[in-house]
Structure 1
Amino acid sequence: MLPGNLEKVMFGVISTPVLYLAVRYQVFTHLVANGPAVAADIAKDLRIDPETTERMLLVLTAFEIIQRTRGGQYSLPEEIRPFVDPDSDRYIGGFVAHLVQETAGRVALLDSYLRHGKDAVDGSDLQPFTSLYRDDHATGRFLKAMWDLSFAPSKELAVLAGLATTTHLIDVGGANGPFAVAALQHSPRLRATVFDLPEVEPHLKETRAAHGLGDRLTFLPGNFFTDELPEGDCIAFGYILSDWPDDACVQLLSKAHRACHDHGRVLIMDRLFDESRQGPLATSAMNLTMHLETQGRHRTADEYIALLTEAGFRQAELHRSNSDKHLIVGHK
């Protein structure tokens, strides 16, 4: 019999698409709304095939994503429910869709990367977001994935950031605003500006309207490599620096140092490797997706602090959260 960890990795090629389809066809939504049910009733209500539904539910049961009673009813464990409930801040459906619709299509590149190297396969002038922002639909889908991945952790990170005396937050590459919204909700006197590519602006406007933030949340279009950053007393990089190599990160942090008011701060929010690099699992997996989808990688806290020092920040501190994303603060 295969060791459990090996078995789960081997059959991941089955489990992730099944998870995605359960999200897409609202199987989890049905269980959240209606409670335990047999596969036939779920399939009837959702107008999907009952046998395929049953087989998929059995896979999710074996992976301990859902539970099955002896009577054949399926239900959601309490620890899983918030992550598959579309009304929860911790919902991950958009990110699961991104893994299947975007990331999975690039996994085959690993074979070529191993034989020839990433630069030889992709070209040295790779612009990773050209594909992700190829049209408004693709842009919206990617931003939805990033919101699902980022908003809940951002609530804790906003608390850890200590924004009580901050007046103007610049959220660099802030997308449709998961960290900016969390920060504004936590600090009523704060203003925030999201600085991102022009394609993002309509989606940020939707976020601003949905959360009733008015002129507290503004958008400034630009390219953080070709333009200087807007000035503020706190410059945030939420899950941005892991998209880029070290030299590009120093370039961005140096721009942040110039844009940051005296005695201001820069915030780096990202997944961190343990110093041993033996995990966490999500960081290791996402480190590989960074290789597939961007030019970046995940780092240890000390590596980020070294980048801050090179960019001119003379004091840095690490604040670990209860999630898989943490905060490093650099002081000007």
Structure 2
Amino acid sequence: MADRHEIFTALIDGAATAEEVAKSLELDAETLQRLLMLLCAAGLVERLPNGAYTVLGDIVPFVDRRSRKYLGGFVTHMVTSAAGRMPVLGDHLQHGKSAADPANADPFARIYADASSTKEFLSAMWALSADVSVELVDLAGLTGTRHLVDVGGASGAFAVAALQAVPGLRATVFDLPQVGPYLVETAERHGIADRLGFVAGDFLGDGELPAGDCLALGYVLSDWTDETCLHLLRKVHRACTPGGRVLILERLFEDDRTGPLGTAVMHLSMHVETLGGHRTAAEYLSLLDRAGFTNGRVRRSGQEKHLLIANKE
């Protein structure tokens, strides 16, 4: 609520009393005062001796919409869409996913059902990927790459980070038609519209993917079953030019699947939101091998999203 009504933004721009913030944002002062008291108790904001409120310094990057670390979009998605799906979890426990939830056979028909849900989902994906993508681009070593194809790249967090890091690189995001306007907006906002393109399509459909010497799949394979992932990776292999590479950007379970905690939480959430879940590095490397790629290896970031790389001979 504080994020939606830009209360955090107002306090980041300058400490202010509840009355001052309420006036500037045209909010009810009493309700805002109670919300600020809760945010203080939660350790997100601080009340100064003069009665003004300010966002605690360590929190600022995560609630500032101008920051790569901003998590508001992801939190909104978890509170609305993800939490809204959780009531079916009991039915999944009793009857199994396919019997309890047959209408969710195509989860992205629901996720992209209208402009509002599309925007919410793309904001969540940007929040999950924008900051760590800078590190993943460095780990990928894209110098010398000519054309990056970001399959299911949403609003282009990884593609943007790659283009900003590698002069001369071109990138194409391939995703459903609903994503197009948001990708165009992203390209213009970051001043890379001449190097970042969009191709509309369904990567699970009959058509082929755009060709490139590097194809990336970020938070894509974890949405689908092993069989669907293998089908998609074989399409990626056909689209990848000889000597090229594939990049998989995903959360990874430890080999014994006992953690990390964040991966386990998302694994359960994805059970009710999509058709997939998270895997170990070994499981992804096996899929890459079966799809025809060679020399699969893992490069771990300092965050929760990691990188697997494999080559096409």
Which one of 133, 137, 143 corresponds to residue 164 of structure 1? Answer: 143
The TM-score with structure 2 as length reference comes to 0.93
Number of aligned residues: 311
Specify the SS of the correspondent of 1:108.
helix
Whether contact under 8 Å (2:151, 2:216) holds in the other structure is yes
Which one of 47, 51, 54 corresponds to residue 75 of structure 1? Answer: 54
Displacement, 1:176? 1.6
Aligned identity (percent) is: 51
Indicate the residue corresponding to 1:95 in structure 2: 74
Indicate the residue corresponding to 2:297 in structure 1: 317
Deviates more, 1:275-284 or 1:311-320: 275-284
**Which amino acid letter does the alignment assign opposite residue 77 of structure 1?**
L
Are 2:173 and 1:194 aligned? yes
Specify the SS of the correspondent of 1:236.
strand
Are 2:115 and 1:136 aligned? yes
Indicate the residue corresponding to 2:255 in structure 1: 275
Specify the SS of the correspondent of 1:107.
helix
Q: Deviations over 1:202-244 (max 9, x none)?
A: 2211122222223311111111111222211111001111111
Specify the SS of the correspondent of 1:22.
coil
**Which amino acid letter does the alignment assign opposite residue 106 of structure 2?**
Q
Displacement, 1:290? 0.9
Displacement, 1:63? 2.9
Q: Which runs of 5+ in 2 are unaligned?
A: none
Indicate the residue corresponding to 2:9 in structure 1: 29
Indicate the residue corresponding to 1:300 in structure 2: 280
Q: Deviations over 1:22-53 (max 9, x none)?
A: 10111211110013x44344334333233333
Displacement, 1:62? 3.2
Indicate the residue corresponding to 1:217 in structure 2: 196
Q: Which runs of 5+ in 1 are unaligned?
A: 1-20
Which one of 231, 239, 250 corresponds to residue 259 of structure 1? Answer: 239
Which one of 104, 121, 131 corresponds to residue 152 of structure 1? Answer: 131
- Give the distance between the partners of 1:238 and 1:157, measured in 2 at CA: 11
Which one of 79, 90, 100 corresponds to residue 111 of structure 1? Answer: 90
Which one of 33, 40, 44 corresponds to residue 65 of structure 1? Answer: 44
Are 2:21 and 1:42 aligned? yes
Indicate the residue corresponding to 1:243 in structure 2: 223
Q: Deviations over 1:265-298 (max 9, x none)?
A: 1100011122343333322221122111110101
- Give the distance between the partners of 1:218 and 1:147, measured in 2 at CA: 17
Deviates more, 1:321-330 or 1:205-214: 205-214
